[in-house]
Structure 1
Amino acid sequence: MTTSPTTSRLLGIGWCTLVPFVVVAVYLAIGTGAVLLIGEPIVATAVLGMLVVVLVGAVRILRPQWLAHAPVPQAPRFGRTVLGCAVLAFLAGQSLALWIYVTAGSAGFDESNQTRHAAGALATLLLTMVAAPAGEEALFRGLIYPLLRKRVGILVSTLVTAVVFGLLHGNAVQFASSLPMAVLLALVYEGTRALWPCVLLHLGFNLAAALVPAQALGGLANPISAVLLCLAFASCAWMLYRQVAGGTAPGAVQGE
């Protein structure tokens, strides 16, 4: 018995709503418990990230068929397209985030910075450079994205995962800065079906955000720069999507 296009679309919408909602709800429930037990939110979040790595890793090793979606690409390989997209994703996200912060401010972003400062340098370093890249990639690219891809296409899975990833950061500034990165990471995962490239790229983004001074990016805090950089990144991401969805090209991530 065949399913009508309308029914298929409704099922896809339901799946794209149910999967992120359930996974994030469980994640937040465990995170709340970790904060109550540990008491320090940054340390608790770092512990939560490593717990996610263990749990998702166990599922991917013991029950790979739960997250598998065909066809499986060849061995991962990076090239100029991914690196160019990574640079544009960082600049576009930072420009948009700085513009939002300068224009409207963000109490949530300020509170997040205060929490990190209160936790101390060591806890913040552990979260930013270890637990966040590994834990968030395990949760979003290692669990949510492949679950979505079992029912819907690359583009929808990428956009849904990216939006949920941005929303989980809890404020407009971090949503804006992380959204381009999340789009890129989903496409990289689609082309490689491996988490380690996503973790390394995520680590690179966090490292760049920590090392590049805000003064160096101050000139990007305007709508013209934000729009132009976002358009440039969108063009690069579309090229990568076409390569991942339609085949391989020299100097690109190998695709389906």
Structure 2
Amino acid sequence: MPAPPIKSRLVSIAWCVLVPLGVLAANLGLGLAVVSVVGEPVLGTAVLGGLVALLVGAARLFRPRWFANTPTVRPMSGTPRFTRTVLGCLALAFFAGQSLALWLYTLGGSAGFDESTRARTDAGPVVALLLALVAAPVAEEMLFRGLLYPLLRRRVGIVAAVLVTAAGFSLLHANVVQFAATLPLAVLLALVYERTRVLWPCVLLHLAFNLAAVLVPAQLLGALANPVSALLMTAAFLACALAVYRMGTRARACTRRQGGRRGRRQGKRATGRIAAGLNVQD
């Protein structure tokens, strides 16, 4: 007997609160333990990334049903168009996030962001690049798109799962500047995972985002530190993200139609076999 609508909604709300809190708390506890052993926060974060990738990867390998939700997405003829749209959306996510983050920083600064910057500087360029281009893309995608998002999708729809995952991903960075900078990226990555159901595109997009943050000149980004640029870039990103979302919904609709046609064909074959058997028995 299905649960009453109100009870079902309450369960879904509790799921959207408790599951992210559990994932973030487990990651924080493991991170504190690793940093206490390593003794250096940035290197410790890189080591933590390796552990998270190992643990979540093992869970996805040996317990795939924990992370499955229906319908599964099948390849479509529109994949090149989807790829182009995602790459354009990634560029908009980068500039929208940077514009909003820099504008917020000019308004009141951020002690947490300043401390994070000092820690990366003190760790040296090699460790900082290892964290930004290897550990962070792999571990954060494993944790959020590989673990949290599939768990949420087992109970709630796409929009709720995307927003909760994006909020958790941005909160992980623990300061308002990085929260704003990474929020558009988190939305895009969740939509890409929903469409593809594999992690490697998310890892590559995350790496490209971090690489752009390293390579794009500060003078160019500084020109975006105003509310007008932040608003325009965010609006453009949201329009592009909506296009990615619609492509994903079309993919699921196509999968359902294919499944329905396959089921009808199998039913007809089974009916034919039964009829043939009856004729033989006669």
Q: TM-score range by the shorter chain?
A: over 0.9
Unaligned 5+ runs, structure 1: none
Paired residues of 2:71 and 2:252 also in contact (CA < 8 A): no
Q: In structure 2, what is the Cα distance between the partners aligned to 1:105 and 1:93?
A: 16
Residue 137 of structure 2 corresponds to residue 133 of structure 1: yes
Aligned length: 252
SS in 1 for 2:223: helix
Question: Pick from 185, 204, 223: which aligns with 2:208?
Answer: 204
Aligned structure 1 segments of 4 or more residues deviating by more than 6 angstroms: none
Paired residues of 1:96 and 1:176 also in contact (CA < 8 A): yes
Q: In structure 2, what is the Cα distance between the partners aligned to 1:156 and 1:148?
A: 8
Q: In structure 1, what is the Cα distance between the partners aligned to 2:177 and 2:126?
A: 24
Quote how far apart the aligned CAs of 1:236 are: 1.0
Residue by residue, what CA displacement relative to the aligned partner does 1:3-54 show, whole Å, maximum 9, x if unpaired?
A: 2221111111000011111111111000000010000011110000011111
The aligned amino acid for 1:55 is L
Paired residues of 1:243 and 1:255 also in contact (CA < 8 A): no
- 2:39 match: 39
Paired residues of 2:71 and 2:255 also in contact (CA < 8 A): no
Q: 1:33 to 1:223 in 2, by over 3 A?
A: same
* TM-score, normalised via structure 1 length: 0.95
Question: Pick from 120, 123, 127: which aligns with 1:119?
Answer: 123
Q: In structure 2, what is the Cα distance between the partners aligned to 1:133 and 1:196?
A: 10
CA RMSD in angstroms, aligned pairs only: 1.6
Q: In structure 2, what is the Cα distance between the partners aligned to 1:232 and 1:9?
A: 32
The aligned amino acid for 1:57 is G
* TM-score, normalised via structure 2 length: 0.86
Q: In structure 2, what is the Cα distance between the partners aligned to 1:127 and 1:29?
A: 19
- 1:54 match: 54
Paired residues of 2:195 and 2:251 also in contact (CA < 8 A): no
- 2:108 match: 104
Please give the residue correspondences for 1:176-191 in structure 2 after superposition, counting only pairs within 5 Å.
176-191=180-195
- 1:29 match: 29
Question: Pick from 222, 227, 241: which aligns with 1:223?
Answer: 227
Q: Kindly name which structure, 1 or 2, has the bigger radius of gyration based on alpha carbons.
A: 2
Q: In structure 1, what is the Cα distance between the partners aligned to 2:24 and 2:155?
A: 19
